[in-house]
Chains A and B, each alone.
Chain A
């Protein structure tokens, strides 16, 4: 239920934001007071700060840097840690949050400035696991493979992954001491291995999952699925691919 059900337009809301000037500088907290508007989301509060960059002490400051694009929870840009939980600042409503609202950058990625982080690693993982369907070319070669609606509906769940990083932020196995690729890349392996043509590269993908940083490093904490804003069944994919990778590894061993 709402943490602050009674909040009314015009009332002040308090935000505590973890800031950082550039990649190598020290982080610091700064507090802001913003006026509440009906249905206000966290990203609107950041926009209010842009239009009036003054902190809670009344001192002029710089606007808070943050990534944003679609503002409707399909692009994944505006992901940040809000009151301790990674989520999109566009779809997080102020009225559902305890105050002061704390905003921090995602915790598993290098911070570039304020709430902006570098998620390049997530995209590199997509290259690593060959997250594509190998097609012959884009010319008129006829229809795609026929697919049952049931198979399609499950695959669709995984194809909604926004590469936002919430699952990595929540995963205890993604940390400085491990090279775990994280749940989202494993979810993409599931997606592409379930596509009739995508499955042509299934073995290559399982090879990648067998390597250090692969699926063996999943600790089955199951935080990922709870953290996923799209409720993608990541733990099912991890369990399924864990078994497949084991079988794949044994097969390879026997072939040697």
Chain B
């Protein structure tokens, strides 16, 4: 068993997506060398699936957009659950980051004069999203991968592709000192020393069975860190994207950019209307988003759009009473569609067999993104209200030396992420991680080379033992079938609409599946590229996160962003009688205030055991820059609520 010994200047990055690559580049620029581990070649990481674009308030259309507005809309979009110093700095950095990508050769769409083109996205009225056709994530990851390949050719980066992190090495002081990883081809298990480990391991869509995520997005790496004592924050906040293409193997994303370019969501007014979509006249169509949200229309944030679509379909008002709605682009010119959305339209055509340029698409919501993730710290700059750059604690988990970035961490997006902010948060997080890790190493007295190799050997042995135990199981269950059951239960009860009784049943189901999995025989005992073994071990660790998600959702008795429990909605404001209405508005505002005080908090989960619930605590959220306000998105009739809340806030401020 070889233990690769790192030089004192090495860090380990796990994950070859945007967060991992940007962290790598910035770490190299800060003078460090990087060992990058990835399940697949970096170019094939899940970031390729990001379609629509990246937000940056460059205001190239004279609309009056600014980073301050981008900051405000991101915080509002996330229902105020995000720590504001990080969001502020991310919005301010965004124009520079888009310039950087442009310099790296990302083929962003251009205007006729040759400037960057921008389009609209959800949760904003500005043209703020730079894009490269409808394959922006793919273009971005290629450019970053190319920069890393350049560094690799100079000997500054070592790539370990087709390697999986199985465990962290934590010394007796509780400091991270490296990883245990497996070569997914030869199945060799080895230890790697390093004083810094950066987890850029992405999302966890596989916990929900079919989602918009890639098959590699299991969440297992995050779960393994959690098992080692890393705290996990806001697990209950799972984004469900409003528009995906249903499929047996995957729910393929149909980008928000389709609506950003003018796509309209509708259903026939009469669900029994048997005509094909194009024969249904305007007067017989119900554009329910535009009707309820006249200002934002089809570009309300994702949580709201998903809930509205869900509601329409639950009332059997979907297309032909089914759980589907139309997403219509047929009123836009074919030339514009090909230039700006070509990639995703081709995909729809390939998989469904209909041309979305001529026939409205049929879509339904699907699990898309985890706002929650590993708890990571930051240090505030008292002068700017933003983040103190270069501080070793920025993006560090509660385990010294262990960092997390990208979808794997919980910062930036609060209770709901705005479209086109995820590519941005991956990149921005990466720019912080590089210098943070360099600063951490500078201040570190005891180094991983001082840690006895017996610790690494013991950890490797433990993983080998686990593997032997996994392969020795001989029950009748099949792990892939258990995974499907997990996905069905989680999707049914822990997504758009939540209810405590249903969540309790789901928790029981997860426990049942966890126990069944412990007996399930792995259908492959082979010693080379054993995918069934990799899958089953990952699934076992995913179960721990599934339970954490369900339990945290159970405890949070409110509605915030993506987390929606109808039983805990604020009182209605729906009376036609002006006097009653005014009374309702007052009651609503008081309830909003009480709810904010009770629930505007970060959920923090501590691992207590594979067969136990996590210990849940709540931490305050930094809302020092933008005070919380009702999140109405111009909902018809909500103006009075906004006014009353503004008045109440002013009165409160005056009283202080």
Contacts and interface: CB of A to CB of B under 8 A. Distances in A.
A75 B248 contact: no
Contact of A149 (B109, B249, B527, B528): B109
Contact of A127 (B107, B114, B153): B153
Given A131-B149, A144-B103, A138 B480 contact: no
Interface string B180-217: 00000100000000000000000000000000001110
B65 interface: no
B153 A71 contact: no
Interface stretch (B40-48, B232-240, B437-445, B603-611): B40-48
A56 B108 CA distance: 49
B21 to A, nearest CB: 11
B100 interface: yes
A51 interface: yes
Of listed A40, A62, A195, residue having the most chain B CB within 10 A? A62
A146 B114 CA distance: 6
Interface stretch (A155-163, A205-213, A237-245): A155-163
A26 interface: no
Given A50-B532, A91-B350, A152-B107, A62 B114 contact: no
Interface stretch (A41-49, A173-181, A219-227): A41-49
Contact of B529 (A65, A71, A138, A148): A65
A69 B216 contact: yes
Contacts, number: 199
Contacts of A73: 347, 350
A132 B143 CA distance: 7
Interface string A73-107: 11111000000000000110100000000000000
A177 to B, nearest CB: 27
B43 A197 contact: no
Contacts of A60: 523
Contacts of B138: 74, 160, 162
B30 to A, nearest CB: 11
A144 B43 contact: no
A21 B248 CA distance: 28
Interface in B83-127: 96, 99-105, 107-112, 114-116
A70 interface: yes
Contacts of A163: 41, 43
Contacts of B531: 63, 65
A190 to B, nearest CB: 13
Of listed B29, B110, B153, B248, residue having the most chain A CB within 10 A? B248
Given A127-B152, A144-B103, A72 B478 contact: no
A229 to B, nearest CB: 9
B105 A198 contact: yes
Given A72-B250, A133-B105, A138-B29, A51 B480 contact: yes
Nearest to A192: B105
A152 B139 CA distance: 13
A8 interface: no
A34 B22 CA distance: 43
B568 interface: no
A153 interface: yes
Interface string A125-136: 011001111110
Given A69-B214, A75-B48, A127-B153, A62 B526 contact: yes
Contacts of B132: 156, 159
A195 B142 CA distance: 15
Interface string B469-498: 000000000101100100000000000000
Contacts of B111: 149
Contact of A135 (B147, B215, B252, B343): B147
B146 to A, nearest CB: 4
Contact of A138 (B25, B43, B352): B25
Interface residues of A: mostly helix, strand, loop or mixed? Answer: loop
Given A50-B480, A51-B480, A90-B249, A75 B40 contact: yes
A119 B43 CA distance: 12
B315 interface: no
Contacts of B468: none
B339 interface: yes
A37 interface: yes
A51 B46 contact: no
A218 interface: no
B49 A72 contact: yes
A192 B106 CA distance: 11
B380 to A, nearest CB: 22
Interface residues of A, number: 70
A63 B253 CA distance: 28
B431 interface: yes
A44 B250 CA distance: 9
A43 B351 CA distance: 12
Interface in B529-588: 529, 531-532, 535
B615 interface: no
A141 B146 CA distance: 19
A175 B101 CA distance: 37
A62 B216 contact: no
A163 B185 CA distance: 20
B31 interface: no
A143 B96 CA distance: 8
Contacts of B247: 39, 41, 44
B524 interface: yes
A51 to B, nearest CB: 4
The 5 closest A-B pairs by CB, nearest first: A144-B102, A132-B146, A133-B105, A149-B110, A22-B528
27 contacts: A43-B249, A44-B249, A60-B523, A62-B524, A72-B347, A73-B347, A74-B49, A75-B43, A76-B43, A93-B351, A116-B529, A123-B41, A127-B152, A133-B104, A135-B147, A137-B29, A138-B25, A140-B100, A142-B99, A144-B101, A144-B105, A148-B114, A149-B110, A149-B114, A152-B109, A156-B139, A163-B41
Interface of B: 22, 25-26, 29, 40-41, 43-46, 48-49, 96, 99-105, 107-112, 114-116, 132-133, 135, 138-139, 142-143, 146-147, 149-150, 152-153, 185, 214-216, 247-250, 252-253, 339, 343, 347, 350-353, 431, 478, 480-481, 484, 523-524, 526-529, 531-532, 535
Interface of A: 21-23, 37-41, 43-44, 47, 50-53, 60, 62-63, 65, 67-77, 90-91, 93, 112-113, 116, 119, 123, 126-127, 130-135, 137-138, 140-149, 152-153, 155-156, 159-160, 162-163, 192, 195, 197-198
